[in-house]
Every structure is written in C-alpha cells, then in structure tokens.
C-alpha cells in the first residue's frame, strides 16, 4: 500500500500538478490538494511550524496551523479523526487514473506536446459524454414539463405534450419544482409497474412495490443500508461477484458490513457457478452472517448475460440458504449476443412457482443512465421489491422521506424510459429509429471490440454479450510485473497508466473491480463512436505489442 | 411509545385505510402496509400459521409464511433484523399526520362528507405545491439545456440562451445527460463562488471549496457522514438546536452519533445564547466527544434571524472549544423583519480576522428549494467548506464519487439561483418583478401570521423574522393534556390531529422538532397564497377557541 502511494504521488508531482494522488492497493485512491497551495483558507501560518516536533505524521503536521493565541492548532477533521468506514471506501471507476487523465487534458490545453491530441475517457459508461445523442422524445417530454409554456408550441409532437401533461398532473401544483412523494410520483410508479409486467410476460407488478430512485446507485444504497446489522460473527455479510462494480465494495465499506467475494468463471465466459456460491457461503458463515446475495446481470464489468437456468439455480440457492437477493439489472436493455436473452430475476422467480415467488425476498434495480437512453445526468431509476416484510416497507419509506424525494426531472426521464411511444403515437417512428440506431451500434461495437482484442497475443477477451464494457485479460510478462513492483504499483495499474500516458486512452485497471490473484485486466467502455472505437482499439493493441516487446 | 402506537393504529383503522400508521413518542412514525392486503407477494399462505406459536411478536408472526418444503419460513429482513440505526430514525415533517392527511384526501375524493372541501398541506416548505409559480428565467434556462433545439426559438430571450450554452459547454458531450464531476460542474461552482463573494461583500470564495449537492440535505448528510467516528465516550457528539429541523436528528440516528441538544430561547424570539451552548457542551463531554455544532439561520422551524453579534459569539465559542461548524443557511434569502439582516457565518468569520478565518472549520449549505425560487423538485444546492484539511477534501471527493454526481438539471437550476440576470440583461426586469413579488408576499404573510395568531388567547407566536414557517406555542388546558394521554398521544399531536380532522389543515406537532418539556407548538408554512393563508389562520384560530372551550 505504502509503496504504491509513493509512486503515484511521484507521478502526480512529475506532472507539475497542484494535486497529489494517493493510491492504495487494488485501485483504491484518494486525491489530496497540496496543503497551502491555494485559497486563503489554506495559507501557512506565518512563523508556523513550532508545533511540528510533536506530530508523528505528515498529516498531523499539516493539520497543525497557528491559532489566535499563537499556539499550534490541530484540525478537528483529519484522516485520523474521520469516519474510518468512509476512509476505507474505494471507488476505482473515478479513481487515480481518471484524475491523471484530467491532468493530461489540462496539459494538452496548455499546449504541451503529447503523442496524442486528446484524452479519451473510456473509463465510465457515460454515453452522452462519448457523443451519443439524447432520445428526442425523452428530452421533449422533460422540456415540456420544465417549461409548460411550450405546450402551445407546434414544434412539439402531441404525444410528448400528452405525456408531459400526465406527469405534471402527478406533481403537486403541476410543477416539477414541488417535492414528490418520497417513494416517487404515483403515476410514474404505475407506469413502471406496467413496464415490468409487460417485460416479464404478464407477471404482476405492484406500484406500491416500486421506489423511484436517484439513479440505481441510490436504490442499492437504500436497501443495503436497511439490511446491514449485527456485530462480530453476526454482522451482515454481502456476497458480491468478483469482478464487481465497485459501488458494492464501497457501500459495504461505508456500512461496515462484511464483503463476501464469489468468483465468476472467466474460462466459462464469466458464468456464475452455484457451487462457487455455496463454497463461499459456507466459509463466510464461520465469521459473519452472509444473508445478502448481489447479482449483476448483464455483468459489469464482465459483460456476460446469465442464462435462464443459471438464474433458476441462483434463486433456488437463495431460497434454500435464506438469502436476500439484490438483482442489479441496469443493463437489461443492453444485450447484444444473438444467443443471449435477458431474463429478469422476478420473472424467473414467478415461473418457478408460488412457493418461490411468495417467499424469496428480492430487490431489483434499473436506471435511466444505461440502456439506449444513457441519461446519466438525470439520476433517474427505480427499485422493485418483492416479498418485503410490510413493516420493512414502512421503514424504507420513512428512511427515504428524510432525503425528501428523488429529483423530479429524473423521475420524468424514468417515466419515458418505462413508457416509450407506441406504434400509434406520432413520435413512434423517430423514437424507434433512434433506439435501434443506438442498440445496433452497440451490438456492432461489442463484436468489433471482442474481435480486435482477440487478434492480439496476450489479450484474451470474452464475448461482450451485454452491458457496455470489455474486460479483457492481459497476460503481462514477468518483467513487466517486476517493473510495476519497482514503481510500487499493481501491475495492471502500471499498464493502464502507461497506456494513458502513451495513447491518451483512459481505462480502469482490473484491480479496481477485483480479479483472481495473478490475473490482470482492464475495463473499457465500448461507447465511443464506431470509427473512433476502432482507432482506439488499434491504439490499445499497438501499445500492448510495444509493451510486450519492451518487457519480453 | 406503545400507547401512542396503539392509538394511531386505531385512528388509521377507523379511517378504513389499508395502511397502519405506527407512531412513536416525539412524533416519530412509520407506516405499515397491512400484511396480505394487496399484491401476490403479500398473500397469506394457504394453511399457514403452523409456525406461529414459536413467535413472540406480531411482526414475527407476520414474517412467517409457508415455505416450499411446507415448513414455516422466517423473513430475512424484519424489524428485528434490520439496521437498528435506521429503525431509530424519526422524520416528523413527512410523518403520521401527513399520512393521515393523504387518507382524508382520498376520502374526500370518494365523496365522503367532511366539514371542509380540501386538505391544505401546510406541513412542508413546498412552495410550488402551494401554487407559487416558477421563476421564468430559471425554467427557460433549464428547458434550453434540456432541449437545445430550442436555442433557435425566438420565444426564448438571448440571456437565457447564453446561460444555457454556458452550462452545456460545462457538460461533457454538451449534454445534461452526461455525468458531471462528482463535486459538480466547474463553471457552476465558479458561479457559486462569485455569488458568495458578492453576497459577503468581497470575502474570497474558492470554487474548489464548493460542492454542488442533491439539495442541502445531501450536503449535510455528506459532511456529517465523514465527521462521525469513535466509540463510547469518544463517539462524535453533534450539537443541534431545539427546536430543530428533524433532518439533523434523523442523520444522527442513522450514523449512530450522539445528539446533543441545546435549547433556543423562546422568550427571547428563539435567540441562541452562548451560555446555553457552554452548559450543554460541558455536560456532553462527560459522555461523548461533542465536536460538531449545527446552526440553522434563519431558523427552521423557529423563524428567527441571528444578529451579527450572536454569530460572532458562536464563532468565538467554536474556535475556543474546537468545534466543527455546520451553518444551515438555506433560508438566507428569506428575511422579512425590517430590523433583521442575514449575515453568513463565513462573512462574520472573515471579519473577525485571519486567526479565525484561517482556522475555524466550517461547512455551510444553500439550496434551490427555498428562497424565492422554491424549486424543491430539482434537488439542487451547494455546500461551501472552509479550512477543511486538504486530505479530507480528497476523502470527500472520493466519497461523493461513489454516487457519481448530483442531478445535472439540479446543478443547472442552482446556477440560475447564484447567477440571476443583471440589470443589463433582457430578462432582468421580469426576473426582478417575479422575485420581488414572491419575497414581498412572503414578508406580508409572515406579518399577517404573527398578528393573527397573537390575537388568540392561548396562542403565542414569536415574530417570523425569516424562513417560511410559524412555530407558535399553544397553551393547552390540563384537561386537553389528559385527553391526549387517554388517547396515548403527545398533547400537540392530539391537537394537530384534531385540527386536521376538523379543518383539513395539516401542520406538524412541535414534538417532531423538539421543544422544552411541558411546552407545545406546531409548525405551519406561510406558503399558501395570502387570501388562502388568511382563511387558514382564521380557521386555526376558530378551532383553537373551540378546543380551549371543549377542554376548559
């Protein structure tokens, strides 16, 4: 941990930055403004430092500034005094590599010559940032809700106006500016329930079981927050896939729960094997109370789409072992492989019969940020719960009421997601054209990415069946691993830092998601436009060849 | 606690509702869907109940449903197993009285005769729900950002277009649909810094110290989350005013921190007395580590505006006692009393000299939900920090990056709040007209409310110097207090429930905010339109006279 920290600090220093990047093993990080570098509040005391000999760390020295009485003054909130669970949080997707990408962008702006002209941030699933255009109907509806004066404007189609009026009628005072119910606007929850019922071939969905959320992140946070309890051996254990989306590990840290890792089978296209779940569960029961099982389907960062049989096995396992299921299904629209299909956990649960459907406790999540809309900034989404104890639903609403409500414009965006135009609607044709263009492009890019990566010796990429990322395995020569060690870095972080420095391409090291010891990966989105993606993949591949040669 | 619970359960049952309201002392509550009342997931097991004798509470019995193997099955997530800190959370503003208001609304819709024709929800500061119209310029800018096709529309003024273009240029891919930086869009943080500098007469503000937030709630949550640590006697104590805005007590519960109450001086227009702070701090040091001091100015629910001298004393006290200051200043635009003026903690800190300004750790909060815009649904706001340890700012950004970013349309709304049109702008005149109409109306209503309440024997209302609530004291006759006891209710909850049932007016009992033992209050917003507010006040007063007579 320490060595890595030192390296990246040096790396940041070599960039001439006013910011230090502190990295920890496994891709953890924090950024540290250099003390006393900017702003009145950060000025050093004149003649300060007299208190320093008493402090044992740099942080403590930095925390000491002169006080009105001339005595040195210790800050109240320091790395030592802060919430230790927050300190333990790691979140690689916006980690040190992204910070460095920002620094390099600034250098380019300042005219510093690089072997590339722009930084490509392939680290995050941020469709619009990569040039994807919004779905017109969605933005029309939200604009009409925002500024109802436009309801008279002939430019806007009738169906968009009708939808906007329906949403506004669901808002107190007919305004997006009023608080909604904490659980979300009722007519939107009804639309969500209808969407789910239709998606799942008629399986009933109850609007009272729908919670509109501030992105899926908020739903996952809420349900985990209410689930975690106990101390020592009875502390809640949360089973998560490895590789995982690091929101899970971050929340587990923050809530001081126990992270219980189960490994996906890379050799078998990142499949989930119930034997692995059982192995992990039995071991975890020796030191905690593992009663929550998280599934990400389609997989992030791994891109696999679970088949129906696997989901059945997982559900049976959860039923048998009394586990609360969290199904992260935010990529449900993003299925590209022809032999794959998205099956919701809820639908499979229903089809397994009432004994399962009436018993297994499930929370599933969806988001406006992914799919073909990619509206990340709206922070819209929903959670559906099943078989929650009635008293717990009351507790959930109470807990949510403290933060008042999810953003109402995000709720409006979620409404369009779950209730798109139908064939009889004026906007249908344009909507379908836009939707299909996004999804067919993504499918092509998924294939292209897999193909191009697998042409290169030392890169192995499983099929991108769904979601929006490649998570290729990179076979690093022993000398490269040694070199990374010399730089006090995880080997895949070293690789990704070099990739960024030499090509301007920003990807996230596999260590930020978790991976089997001795294996190395990175996550890259396939969101850049096709032509750009192709060039990008070729650049990665060329870099990889150079890297292999250098460390052969 | 138990008695109260029983009463409200009975009350809800008498309403023929499918929902039970479980209330606890001090206005705490939870709502409970009756088990097995709706939806497939809630059906009772056929032939179930064989496991019941083993359970000791209703909840446990409800949690037991039949399992596939015919054995009874215990739910995983129950009141017994859930996070106890979340269970302890209380939030009165959206509590049982609001739930009951909803039930009554439904009854009215169903044609049930009542002594009134509509429910007036005066429980929450939700301006647009009370009919306040949005500020046109704000909505124009957000609509333009949402649907940039409108940039060609001659209906929209040039300055709104210019602003929208500036915001979009700050968004990746020029879209509100991309994630922003976790700390918020840079150009908006710059606008916030300029706003603060201007507000505070030139005191420097650094955009790097600004964090855009999902409403002020989110900022307060974030900073408290990072502040709370320790165990037993070293657990963080958070000093909050009584009466308080119940977000504070809710967060303190959730974070398992120690709530340290200091009382505002009702006899002295809810003034804050540093002697009281000192008394409370010294006592708290015996059982916790009280190092956070929260101030709400202008006061919520109490409506006082702190004078400059009081703020100075508080700052000196915080400096002297090494306390981290949280200044909740969301009502900074809402000052009505002619002899009062808003002084930000930051400005006073600066004016007290560099020894204070360079040392006292401060986080202050503002929101788009209040002021004259009242855009609650956008969940916009900001936090400014001062003298935060550089490493802590890194930790804060890391923590915030897990939830990705605040809603981007809320950030756009916040930009308009801090950067309104100036005299040379096309929209200036209309903007000022709208702004002044809202604020002068509020000032009139503040005065009217105080006057009308104080005309009634047994109601004592301090001047509403600021914010948007009255928090009158109600002197309840002993027989009314007895009657409330007979109904197992806090006396002010009993009063407010009767008020709601007889007049349709929904206000929040003082017990939900905290008050001195033996005193009773309620909080009522002054947001309804003036004519409606007058009728409402007359109705409350008439009810009060009847109530006094009944229990004389």
A interface test, pick of B106, B131, B145, B392 with most A CB neighbours within 10 Å: B392
Distance CA B369, CA A216 (A): 24
Give the H/E segment covering residue A262.
strand A258-263
User: Would an 8 Å CB–CB cutoff place B185 in contact with chain A?
Assistant: no
A180, B129 contact by CB (below 8 A): no
Residues 269-298 of B with CB under 8 A from A: 291
From A474's Cα to the closest Cα of chain B, the distance in A is 27
Evaluate whether the domain defined by B136-178 bears CATH number 1.10.287.1970: yes
Strand, helix or coil at A433? helix
Which fold does the domain A217-372+381-409 belong to in CATH? 3.40.640
Which of A29, A353, A398 lies nearest to residue B398, judging by beta carbons? A29
What band does B47 get if pLDDT is binned at 50, 70 and 90?
very low
Fold match between B98-130+433-550 and B136-178?
no
Cβ neighbours, 10 Å, residue B541: 17
Cβ neighbours, 10 Å, residue A203: 18
Distance CA A514, CA A249 (A): 10
User: Would an 8 Å CB–CB cutoff place A32 in contact with chain B?
Assistant: yes
Which of B75, B126, B178 lies nearest to residue A377, judging by beta carbons? B178
CB pair distance less than 8 Å for B41 and A247: no
Q: With b meaning 16 or more CB within 10 Å and e meaning fewer, what string describes A433-469?
A: ebbeebbebbbebbebbbebbeebeebbbbbbbbbbb
Residues 37-56 of A with CB under 8 A from B: 38-43, 45
Residues 508-527 of A with CB under 8 A from B: none
The owner of tokens 């705490």 is: B28
CA of B375: which chain A residue's CA is closest?
Answer: A177
CA atoms within 13 A on the CB side of B523: 29
Please check the confidence at residue A389 and state whether its pLDDT lies above 80: yes
The 3-class secondary structure across A333-393, one letter per residue, is CCECCCCCCCCCHHHHHHHCCHHHHCCCCEEEEEECCCCCCCCHHHCCEEEEEECCCHHHH
Residues 313-352 of A with CB under 8 A from B: 319, 322-324
User: Would an 8 Å CB–CB cutoff place A384 in contact with chain B?
Assistant: no
CB pair distance less than 8 Å for B403 and A218: yes
User: Would an 8 Å CB–CB cutoff place B70 in contact with chain A?
Assistant: no
Give me the pLDDT at residue A20, please: 34
Q: What is the CATH number of domain B184-418?
A: 3.40.640.10
Mean pLDDT of A265-277: 96
CB pair distance less than 8 Å for B134 and A386: no
B93, B512 contact by CB (below 8 A): yes
Please check the confidence at residue A233 and state whether its pLDDT lies above 60: yes
The owner of tokens 């109240």 is: A76
What band does B245 get if pLDDT is binned at 50, 70 and 90?
very high
pTM to 2 decimal places: 0.87
Mean pLDDT of B343-371: 97
Write out the two tokens for A437: 């263009």
Distance CA A509, CA B85 (A): 36
From B128's Cα to the closest Cα of chain A, the distance in A is 5
Residues of A in contact with B172 (CB under 8 A): 126, 128-129
Mean pLDDT of B267-274: 96
Task: Quote the percentage of chain A above a pLDDT of 90.
Answer: 82
Residues of A in contact with B30 (CB under 8 A): 391, 394-395, 397-398
What band does B73 get if pLDDT is binned at 50, 70 and 90?
confident
CB pair distance less than 8 Å for A82 and B226: yes
A377, B377 contact by CB (below 8 A): no
From B129's Cα to the closest Cα of chain A, the distance in A is 4
Write down the domain spans for chain A.
2-90, 97-130+437-550, 217-372+381-409
Which of B34, B62, B178 lies nearest to residue A376, judging by beta carbons? B178
Q: What angle do CA B25, B521, B10 make, to 5 degrees?
A: 40
What band does A26 get if pLDDT is binned at 50, 70 and 90?
very low
Q: What is the CATH number of domain A97-130+437-550?
A: 3.90.1150.10
From B175's Cα to the closest Cα of chain A, the distance in A is 6
CA of B74: which chain A residue's CA is closest?
Answer: A322
Q: What is the ipTM of this complex?
A: 0.86
Residues of B in contact with A129 (CB under 8 A): 172-173, 175, 178-179
Which of B91, B143, B226 lies nearest to residue A150, judging by beta carbons? B143
Which of A34, A374, A378 lies nearest to residue B409, judging by beta carbons? A378
Give me the pLDDT at residue A468, please: 96
Which fold does the domain B98-130+433-550 belong to in CATH? 3.90.1150
pLDDT digits (tens, 9 = 90+) for A301-324: 999 999 999 999 999 999 999 999
The owner of tokens 């929450």 is: B124
pLDDT digits (tens, 9 = 90+) for A30-88: 333 333 223 333 223 333 333 333 333 434 434 444 444 545 578 999 999 999 999 98
CB pair distance less than 8 Å for B182 and A94: yes
Give me the pLDDT at residue B32, please: 32
Which of A183-187, B41-45, B76-80 is modeled with the greatest confidence? A183-187
A237, A258 contact by CB (below 8 A): yes
User: Would an 8 Å CB–CB cutoff place A152 in contact with chain B?
Assistant: no
The owner of tokens 């974070």 is: B255
Q: Which long-range contacts (CB under 8 A, 24 or more apart) does A480-486 make?
A: A480/A547, A480/A550, A480/A551, A483/A551
CB pair distance less than 8 Å for B377 and A35: no
CB pair distance less than 8 Å for B134 and A175: yes
Give me the pLDDT at residue A98, please: 87
Please check the confidence at residue A22 and state whether its pLDDT lies above 60: no
B interface test, pick of A69, A92, A402, A405 with most B CB neighbours within 10 Å: A402
CB pair distance less than 8 Å for B128 and A40: no
Give me the pLDDT at residue A88, please: 87
- Among A527-541, B85-99, B327-341, the minimum mean pLDDT is found in B85-99
CB pair distance less than 8 Å for A30 and B398: yes
Q: What is the dihedral of CA A521, A524, A530, A535, to 10 degrees?
A: -60
Mean pLDDT of B297-321: 96
Average pLDDT, rounded, for chain B: 87
pLDDT digits (tens, 9 = 90+) for A359-383: 999 999 999 999 999 999 999 999 9
Mean pLDDT of B13-20: 34
Strand, helix or coil at A31? strand
CA of B121: which chain A residue's CA is closest?
Answer: A172
Residues of B in contact with A149 (CB under 8 A): 155
Torsion sign across C-alpha atoms A223, A225, A226, A230: positive
CB pair distance less than 8 Å for A410 and B408: no
pLDDT digits (tens, 9 = 90+) for B368-423: 999 999 999 999 999 999 999 999 999 999 999 999 999 999 999 999 999 999 99
Write out the two tokens for B395: 């930790």
From B334's Cα to the closest Cα of chain A, the distance in A is 18
CB pair distance less than 8 Å for B35 and A179: no
Which of the pair, A98 or B286, is modelled with greater confidence? B286
């Amino acid at each position: 941990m320490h060595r890595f920290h030192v390296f990246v600090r040096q790396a940041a220093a070599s960039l001439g930055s006013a910011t230090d990047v502190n990295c920890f093993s496994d891709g953890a990080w924090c950024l540290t403004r250099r003390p006393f570098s900017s702003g009145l509040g950060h000025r050093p005391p004149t003649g300060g430092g007299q208190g320093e000999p008493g402090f044992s760390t740099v942080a403590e020295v930095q925390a000491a500034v002169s006080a009105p009485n001339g005595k040195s003054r210790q800050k109240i909130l320091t790395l030592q005094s802060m919430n230790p669970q927050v300190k333990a949080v790691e979140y690689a997707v916006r980690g040190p590599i992204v910070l460095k990408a920002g620094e390099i962008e600034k250098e380019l702006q300042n005219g510093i010559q690089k072997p590339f002209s722009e930084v490509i941030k392939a680290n995050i699933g941020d469709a619009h940032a990569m040039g994807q255009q919004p779905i017109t109907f969605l933005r029309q509806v939200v604009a009409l809700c925002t500024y109802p004066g436009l309801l008279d404007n002939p430019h806007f189609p009738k169906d968009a106006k009708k939808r906007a009026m329906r949403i506004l009628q669901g808002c107190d005072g007919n305004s997006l500016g009023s608080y909604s119910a904490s659980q979300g606007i009722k007519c939107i929850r009804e639309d969500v329930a209808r969407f789910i019922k239709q998606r799942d071939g008629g399986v009933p969905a109850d609007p009272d079981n729908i919670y509109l959320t501030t992105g899926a992140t908020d739903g996952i946070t809420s349900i985990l927050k209410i689930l975690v309890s106990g101390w020592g051996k009875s502390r809640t254990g949360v089973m998560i896939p490895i590789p995982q989306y690091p929101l899970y590990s971050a929340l587990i840290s923050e809530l001081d729960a126990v992270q219980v890792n189960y490994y996906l089978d890379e050799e078998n296209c990142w499949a989930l094997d119930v034997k692995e779940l059982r192995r992990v569960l039995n071991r975890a029961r020796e030191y905690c109370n593992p009663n929550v099982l998280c599934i990400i389907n389609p997989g992030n960062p791994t891109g696999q789409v679970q088949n129906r049989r696997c989901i059945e096995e997982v559900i049976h396992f959860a039923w048998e072992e009394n586990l609360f299921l969290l199904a992260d299904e935010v990529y449900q629209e993003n299925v590209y492989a022809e032999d794959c299909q998205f099956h919701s956990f809820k639908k499979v649960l229903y089809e397994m019969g009432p004994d399962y459907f009436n018993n297994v406790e499930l929370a599933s999540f969806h988001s406006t940020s992914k799919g073909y809309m990619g509206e990340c900034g709206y922070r819209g989404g929903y959670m559906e719960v099943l078989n929650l104890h009635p008293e717990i639903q009351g507790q959930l609403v109470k807990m949510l009421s403290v933060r008042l409500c999810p953003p109402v414009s995000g709720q409006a965006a979620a409404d369009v997601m779950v209730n798109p135009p139908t064939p009889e609607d004026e906007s249908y044709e344009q909507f379908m054209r836009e939707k299909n263009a996004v999804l067919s492009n993504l499918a092509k890019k998924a294939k292209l990415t897999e193909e191009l990566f697998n042409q290169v010796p030392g890169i192995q990429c499983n099929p991108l069946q769904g979601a929006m990322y490649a998570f290729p395995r990179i076979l690093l020569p022993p000398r490269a691993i040694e070199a990374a060690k010399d730089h006090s870095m995880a080997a895949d972080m070293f690789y990704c830092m070099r990739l960024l420095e030499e090509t301007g391409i920003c990807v996230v090291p596999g260590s930020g998601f978790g991976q089997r010891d001795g294996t190395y990966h990175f996550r890259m989105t396939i969101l850049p436009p096709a032509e750009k993606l192709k060039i990008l993949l070729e650049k990665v591949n060329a870099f990889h060849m150079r890297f292999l040669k250098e460390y052969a």
